[in-house]
Chains A and B, each alone.
Chain A
Amino acid sequence: MEPSILAQQTVNGLVLGTSYGLIAIGYTMVYGIIGMINFAHGEIYMVSAYLTAIFLAVLASFGITSVPFTLVVVLAATICVTALHGWFLERIAYRPLRNSTRLAPLITAIGLSLVLQNYVRLSQGARSQGIPTLLQGSFAIPIDSHGNLIRITHVQTLIVIVALLSMAVLTFIMHRTSLGRACRATEQDRIMASLLGIDTDRVIAIVFIIGAAMAAIAGVLVSLNYGSFDFHIGFVTGIKAFTAAVLGGIGSLPGAMLGGLILGLAESFFAGFVNSDYKDVFAFSLLVLILIFRPSGLLGQPQITKV
């Protein structure tokens, strides 16, 4: 095994894993706070990919060509509108079910993801859509003396940097601000939190907004990276991100990122060194194995059952 190939596969896995991790955060936060698997979250990511392309097209029609400016504006606009989607869905579809059975919101989420997928398909057409290449070029890093090198594109670098930054910001919010405290309190005991004067409905709404915003960051960066998307991408990515969230321990923020990275690396190494036909089989088997030995995921808190 050549070191350059090994290094390149590690890079591939890390970049893929980071994008899984960003989306997994949405799953993990919503699960942590209301104990619900938000299956529509993958579709939120898909919507954000479309929004990216649309805002890019709008900016281009104004004749704006400055790449940093475009990037910042598109990122900000996409985050805002996607977050609004997250909030809106919570308001109309999940809040009415707040005190109902555990499975009812799950079914609503499945229904919502069908609705979102088909709404986008009917509005934008079933074609693949593309994004013009904004950042071209890559860093070439020599690995050994034979001239073997690994390539990391600028967009891939950007993905990792932005993901780390947003993780840092999110961790700060959750641990150092009053909003974060309210979130954690609601997570632990919703009734008690509301007795103490926390508007839990508002907190839950904010969690949906944060989750959607993280999915939007992933949506912008990943679409820039692959250059194309269609209305179907939410499903496959959503399942993988959900797997990542559970792998890391659902409810735990660093767990989501860790789960994403492990999943990304596992897929990349298995596809690269064994067989890409069976990479998903390997990824899911790994998940089952890890959960057998650590039933609450890698960083999850074991559930304490009270009698």
Chain B
Amino acid sequence: MGAFFIQPLITAALVLVLTAPISGLVLDGYRFDLHWQPPLWLALAAFFIHVGLILIRRLLRPGQKAPPQQNSRQIHPTVLRTATILLPLLGLLLPFFLGKYWLTVAILALIYVLLALGLNIVVGLAGMLDLGFVAFYAVGAYGYALGQEYLGLGFWAALPLGASLAAGLGMILGFPVLRMHGDYLAIVTLGFGEIIRLILNNWVSFTGGPNGMRVDSPTLLGLEFSRRAKEGNVPFHEFLGIDYSSNHRHIFIYLILFLVVLATLSLVTRLKHMPLGRSWEALREDEIACRSLGINHVTVKLSAFALGAMIGGIGGVFFAASQGFVNPTSFTFFESALILAIVVLGGLGSIPGVIIAAIVITVLPELLRDFSDYRVLVFGLAMVCMMIWRPKGLVQNRRPVFQRRSA
């Protein structure tokens, strides 16, 4: 029993030493105030966490490791089929039951699903670590804002424009980085993301700099979703003869976005089983082998970059439309890290995992908003614990295996 507590005690002592200066001696100008409680609490917490961990380990040991549950985990095909029909329907009906606040959160969650699907192609399928994905997101968002400002484009024109701009940029970025591997690629993409953000912030006369730009919301066949429409137009609510509600606009954005997400989903799922998707995954596993087998690594890598970027750009257009305002601070490195976290937490390459993770990562901080001070701390802790608990992500990517039928 004594040995049981020795390790946790050592941990507690360590935590005490670690936290004593930072949380115990609080700076006040050039002097300090002594707060002896916080380090003690933290040490106590560390002690109990360690004891808990040991207990869990002891409890698990007798049963050894749970046997591989591959077979029992396989979802029944009928369940799967009903789910693929029911879930989209549920998703389509959802906005009508949400208040405005949760509606905006839901839109944001869908945008992150889109972004994560895009990055998943680059990182998850093609295996290229991209830390500057936010650049394409920014290009999409600013493509809409600038297109509206200088060319008078509406949402529907901006959608293909933003997508193709981002895809083009993805190609341009793709060329020089083809030679690089792994983390050199990561830092170049990071640098690229920062360059885009800094230019957007510094080029005040063109992009409005830090003041950002205003963006109109999308229209439905020329109907506007505002209280009063611009000259010559009829607002949506007058056209239908219903009362004005600012929710209409959000519901509308949600619905288009949801359809776009569905389309992207089916595209990505199909691609995974098509030659292009297979060659992405093959290239990720072994580039040299692929090249010796005659796969053109340039086109394969560039297509992954361009496609991922295009999806990111579409996400950006929707972001601009739903916010009604774009500003460079929305496109910092932290955003890239967040999207990457979604992809990794969801399980690299796994599409359902990525969707779940995107929803969790956008909704969790909003749920935590009531604990405003501890919000980001808890979020970071959750990220660390998730990774330690399931290092391969929420849903592990199972590759299609060809099995010989046993008689």
A and B touch in the complex (CB under 8 A): yes
A81 on the B face (CB < 8 A): yes
Q: Report how far A53 CA is from B194 CA in the complex, Å.
A: 31
B381 to chain A, nearest CB (A): 6
Q: Which of A35, A39, A295 contacts B179 (CB 8 A)?
A: A295
Task: Evaluate contact between A53 and B27: CB separation under 8 angstroms.
Answer: yes
Look across to chain B and name the residue whose beta carbon is closest to the beta carbon of A114: B380
Which of A95-103, A160-168, A182-190 forms part of the interface with chain B?
Answer: A95-103
Task: Evaluate contact between A85 and B18: CB separation under 8 angstroms.
Answer: yes
A50 on the B face (CB < 8 A): yes
Look across to chain B and name the residue whose beta carbon is closest to the beta carbon of A111: B383
Task: Evaluate contact between B195 and A285: CB separation under 8 angstroms.
Answer: yes
- Set of chain B residues within 8 Å of A96, measured between Cβ atoms: 388, 391
Interface flags, B91-124, vs A, CB<8A=1, else 0: 0000000000000000000000000000000010
- Set of chain A residues within 8 Å of B388, measured between Cβ atoms: 93, 96-97, 108
Which B1-52 residues have a C-beta within 8 angstroms of A? Answer: 14, 17-19, 21-23, 25-27, 29-32, 38
A220 to chain B, nearest CB (A): 14
- Set of chain B residues within 8 Å of A108, measured between Cβ atoms: 383-384, 387-388
Known: A101-B392, A287-B187. A107 touches B22 (CB 8 A): no
Task: Evaluate contact between A58 and B184: CB separation under 8 angstroms.
Answer: no
Which B168-198 residues have a C-beta within 8 angstroms of A? Answer: 176, 179-184, 186-188, 190-192, 194-195, 198
Interface residue tally on B, bucketed by range? 35 or more
**26 pairs of residues in contact across A and B, judged by CB atoms under 8 Å:** A50-B22, A81-B18, A84-B17, A84-B18, A93-B388, A97-B387, A102-B182, A103-B123, A108-B384, A108-B387, A110-B341, A111-B382, A115-B380, A117-B380, A118-B374, A123-B19, A124-B27, A125-B26, A242-B187, A246-B183, A278-B198, A280-B198, A281-B199, A288-B188, A292-B179, A307-B289
Task: Evaluate contact between B25 and A54: CB separation under 8 angstroms.
Answer: yes
B interface residues, Cβ below 8 angstroms from A: 14, 17-19, 21-23, 25-27, 29-32, 38, 123, 129, 176, 179-184, 186-188, 190-192, 194-195, 198-199, 202, 286-289, 333, 337, 340-341, 344-345, 348, 373-374, 376-377, 379-384, 387-388, 391-392
A129 to chain B, nearest CB (A): 5
Known: A88-B18, A239-B190. A123 touches B176 (CB 8 A): no
A270 on the B face (CB < 8 A): no
A120 on the B face (CB < 8 A): yes
Task: Evaluate contact between A305 and B288: CB separation under 8 angstroms.
Answer: yes
Q: Which of B181, B198, B377, B387 contacts A281 (CB 8 A)?
A: B198
Task: Evaluate contact between B23 and A119: CB separation under 8 angstroms.
Answer: yes
Q: Which of B26, B179, B181 contacts A123 (CB 8 A)?
A: B26
B233 to chain A, nearest CB (A): 40
Task: Evaluate contact between B23 and A123: CB separation under 8 angstroms.
Answer: yes
Look across to chain A and name the residue whose beta carbon is closest to the beta carbon of B385: A111
Task: Evaluate contact between A278 and B380: CB separation under 8 angstroms.
Answer: no
A130 on the B face (CB < 8 A): yes
A47 on the B face (CB < 8 A): yes
Q: Is the interface of A mostly helix, strand, loop or mixed?
A: helix
A122 on the B face (CB < 8 A): yes
A284 on the B face (CB < 8 A): yes
Known: A93-B384, A307-B289. A107 touches B392 (CB 8 A): no
Known: A112-B380, A280-B198, A307-B288. A104 touches B344 (CB 8 A): yes
Q: Report how far A181 CA is from B2 CA in the complex, Å.
A: 39
Listed residue (B179, B184, B333) with the most chain A CB atoms within 10 angstroms of its CB? B184
Q: Report how far A262 CA is from B182 CA in the complex, Å.
A: 23
A57 on the B face (CB < 8 A): yes
A14 on the B face (CB < 8 A): no
Q: Report how far A55 CA is from B123 CA in the complex, Å.
A: 44
Task: Evaluate contact between B191 and A284: CB separation under 8 angstroms.
Answer: yes
Known: A239-B190, A281-B199. A106 touches B21 (CB 8 A): no
A6 on the B face (CB < 8 A): no
Q: Report how far A298 CA is from B348 CA in the complex, Å.
A: 32
Q: Report how far A113 CA is from B21 CA in the complex, Å.
A: 19
Known: A84-B18, A88-B18, A284-B195. A303 touches B181 (CB 8 A): yes
Q: Report how far A303 CA is from B391 CA in the complex, Å.
A: 26
Q: Report how far A93 CA is from B71 CA in the complex, Å.
A: 32
A243 on the B face (CB < 8 A): yes
Task: Evaluate contact between A291 and B184: CB separation under 8 angstroms.
Answer: yes
Known: A110-B383, A114-B376, A278-B202. A100 touches B21 (CB 8 A): no
B56 to chain A, nearest CB (A): 14
Q: Report how far A120 CA is from B24 CA in the complex, Å.
A: 11
Task: Evaluate contact between B383 and A114: CB separation under 8 angstroms.
Answer: yes
Q: Report how far A110 CA is from B203 CA in the complex, Å.
A: 30
- Set of chain A residues within 8 Å of B179, measured between Cβ atoms: 292, 295
- Set of chain B residues within 8 Å of A305, measured between Cβ atoms: 287-288
Task: Evaluate contact between A243 and B191: CB separation under 8 angstroms.
Answer: yes
A132 on the B face (CB < 8 A): yes
Known: A103-B129, A132-B30. A114 touches B187 (CB 8 A): no
Q: Which of A50, A102, A122, A297 contacts B377 (CB 8 A)?
A: A122
Which A286-307 residues have a C-beta within 8 angstroms of B? Answer: 287-288, 291-292, 295-297, 303, 305, 307
A2 on the B face (CB < 8 A): no
Which A114-151 residues have a C-beta within 8 angstroms of B? Answer: 114-115, 117-120, 122-125, 129-132
Which A57-108 residues have a C-beta within 8 angstroms of B? Answer: 57-58, 60-61, 81, 84-85, 88, 93, 96-97, 100-108
5 nearest interchain CB pairs?
A: A114-B380, A111-B383, A100-B391, A284-B191, A123-B23
Known: A107-B345, A243-B187. A115 touches B30 (CB 8 A): no
A61-B31, A111-B384, A284-B191 given; name 5 further pairs at CB < 8 Å. Answer: A61-B32, A103-B123, A119-B23, A119-B377, A124-B27
Q: Report how far A58 CA is from B183 CA in the complex, Å.
A: 42
Look across to chain B and name the residue whose beta carbon is closest to the beta carbon of A286: B191
Known: A243-B187, A303-B181, A307-B288. A60 touches B31 (CB 8 A): yes
Look across to chain B and name the residue whose beta carbon is closest to the beta carbon of A278: B202
Look across to chain A and name the residue whose beta carbon is closest to the beta carbon of B49: A92
B370 to chain A, nearest CB (A): 16
- Set of chain A residues within 8 Å of B187, measured between Cβ atoms: 242-243, 246, 287, 291
